Structure 1
Amino acid sequence: MKKSTTGLLLGSALVVGLSGCASSASQPSSGTAASADAWYQHPFFCGLAGGLIGGGIGYAAGNDSDDEDTGAALGSTAGAAMGAVLCADNSPKPVPPAPRDTDGDGVNDANDQCPGTPAGVAVNAVGCPLDSDGDGVADYQDQCPGTPAGAEVNALGCVQDLVLRDVNFEFDSATLTMGAEQILDGVAEKLRANRNVRVRIEGHTDSLGSEAYNLDLSQRRAESVADYLGRQGVDMERMRTIGYGESQPVATNDTDAGRAMNRRVELGEWE
């Protein structure tokens, strides 16, 4: 058989063979895993086949012994390269899904040590709510921020009952002032966030007036605070109101300043 004829046949074989490899490699397999990983689809074997076929073409196309050797070497190199390229898997690779952040706190679920953080709550690097004073009560639930280090606190984050300063009432009544309502809005927000705690709301008065009158007034004022917190979304079942009247002063009743301190509402944990 003439070398030209041999070259033509081998060239055709190269085209058909490498095209088949390329088609097999690029098409997604719908069969078994064994079919998808067939040995003849591997770029190494396609390259080897291409080298052999290309070398044969180069040899067959040469006119003398030197040309035959040179042609075989060039054909082998070119065929190997073409076979490897054509059989390489160029199919699109799946894009891995983006990390999930279910609670939207900026820390993905895989690294989040406190999943389910409420929306808008500031968190640290591991997804846990900030606790600036380190008392074990997160900032967004802490009614007493800035507790000294090492202090033992209750569920409200307070060392002792919290005096609701500036929660004042209209003169000789249980009606909250506008300023008092604004302060209680902040209290309500943290109580809504800290749903596992129950609270005591205690009313106190100074000694002006009769003891019986002051006892009733302190009870009505405590209930007024509870009613307002209830309207802001705090479950009434979590609150207990107690009026102590003038019986638990924290300052003297002989001065205006002392009496002002005694007229107060306190918030504490109801155990």
Structure 2
Amino acid sequence: MNKQLKLATLAATLAVFVSGCATYTGQTNDPNDPNRTQRGALIGAAIGAAAGLLSGGDAVERRQRAMVGAGVGALAGGAVGVYQDRQEADLRRQTAGTGIDVSRDGDVIKLNLPDGVTFDFAKYTLKPQFYPALNTVASTLREYNQTIVEVSGHTDSIGSDSANQLLSERRANSVASYLIGQGLMRERFEIVGMGKRYPVASNDTDSGRSLNRRVEIRLLPVRS
């Protein structure tokens, strides 16, 4: 990338970052909904984050560099496991009884949000009664800010590929936007729709299809 193009890209990324920190429009007037203005973004941190996004080699590396550029410290060695142990324990305690399932794979923490408690059937607007559960998740993510947040939407196999892909993207965006609206740094998030490509159960039964309709949140440590 030549210098002029890189500077232009940096400027565009910075504009998006500052704009994203400035405003977010929620879904309703519910007091738990994040329909409010986010202010006070630090320009220095925004520049550091934008530079990080330009220098990374893949999605995770870009997020890590962006966060380090914004002043978020990286974890090293045994500190990673200890940090994730504490975060996992807090998430399990705070989400108990909400329908959110917390699991662990090495140093990665995964939250599974079934569609039945998160969305109405075939919809992508969050159920207002699920706001408090997401608020507890957001509170924990604010405390443990040395993690990248990957949000992925998944569907069952009913319907066309294009419709399932779009629904999965919209659901992932709904969850991520709500969490960001609670004051989390946008540059922590990687948001993607997976459509029907990654089932966790058989699509031949109602119960299996129900398990496949989900939003997953994966928490990856920022490593030095």
Query: In 2 relative to 1, CA 135–193 (structure 1 residues): closer, same or farther, beyond 3 Å?
Result: closer
SS of alignment partner, residue 241 of structure 1: strand
Q: In structure 2, what is the equivalent of residue 192 of structure 1?
A: 142
User: Equivalents in 1 of 2:85, 2:205: separation in Å?
Assistant: 37
Q: Does 1:212 align with 2:162?
A: yes
1:123-167 CA-partner distances (Å, limit 9, x unpaired): xxxxxxxxxxx775325874346xxxxx87426xx3xx2212454
**CA shift at 1:269, angstroms?**
2.6
User: Equivalents in 2 of 1:153, 1:249: separation in Å?
Assistant: 21
Q: Does 1:143 align with 2:96?
A: no
User: Equivalents in 2 of 1:258, 1:221: separation in Å?
Assistant: 19
User: Equivalents in 2 of 1:242, 1:221: separation in Å?
Assistant: 9
Which structure has the higher relative contact order (CA within 8 Å, separation 6+)? Answer: 2
User: Equivalents in 1 of 2:87, 2:193: separation in Å?
Assistant: 30
**Runs of 5+ in structure 2 lacking a partner?**
1-81, 94-103
**Runs of 5+ in structure 1 lacking a partner?**
1-133, 146-150
User: Equivalents in 2 of 1:188, 1:136: separation in Å?
Assistant: 16
Q: Contact conserved, 1:204 with 1:248, CA < 8 A, in 2?
A: yes
Q: How many pairs does the alignment contain?
A: 130
Q: Does 1:162 align with 2:108?
A: no
SS of alignment partner, residue 169 of structure 2: helix
Greater fraction strand: 2
**CA shift at 1:191, angstroms?**
0.3
User: Equivalents in 2 of 1:241, 1:152: separation in Å?
Assistant: 20
User: Equivalents in 2 of 1:207, 1:234: separation in Å?
Assistant: 33
The letter for the 2-side match of 1:235 is M
Query: In 2 relative to 1, CA 170–152 (structure 1 residues): closer, same or farther, beyond 3 Å?
Result: closer
User: Equivalents in 1 of 2:151, 2:183: separation in Å?
Assistant: 16
Greater fraction helix: 2
User: Equivalents in 2 of 1:202, 1:185: separation in Å?
Assistant: 18
**CA shift at 1:258, angstroms?**
0.8
Max Rg structure: 1
Query: In 2 relative to 1, CA 249–140 (structure 1 residues): closer, same or farther, beyond 3 Å?
Result: closer
The match for 1:202 among 148, 152, 171 is 152
Query: In 2 relative to 1, CA 137–260 (structure 1 residues): closer, same or farther, beyond 3 Å?
Result: same
1:149-196 CA-partner distances (Å, limit 9, x unpaired): xx87426xx3xx221245421332210112322221111010010111
Q: Contact conserved, 2:154 with 2:194, CA < 8 A, in 1?
A: yes
TM-score, structure 1 normalization: 0.43
Query: In 2 relative to 1, CA 140–168 (structure 1 residues): closer, same or farther, beyond 3 Å?
Result: closer
Q: Identity across aligned pairs (percent)? A: 40
The letter for the 2-side match of 1:154 is D
User: Equivalents in 1 of 2:140, 2:153: separation in Å?
Assistant: 21
Q: In structure 2, what is the equivalent of residue 80 of structure 1?
A: none
Q: In structure 2, what is the equivalent of residue 263 of structure 1?
A: 213
Query: RMSD of aligned C-alpha atoms?
Result: 2.7
Query: In 2 relative to 1, CA 171–214 (structure 1 residues): closer, same or farther, beyond 3 Å?
Result: same
Q: Contact conserved, 1:141 with 1:193, CA < 8 A, in 2?
A: no
Q: Contact conserved, 1:141 with 1:190, CA < 8 A, in 2?
A: no
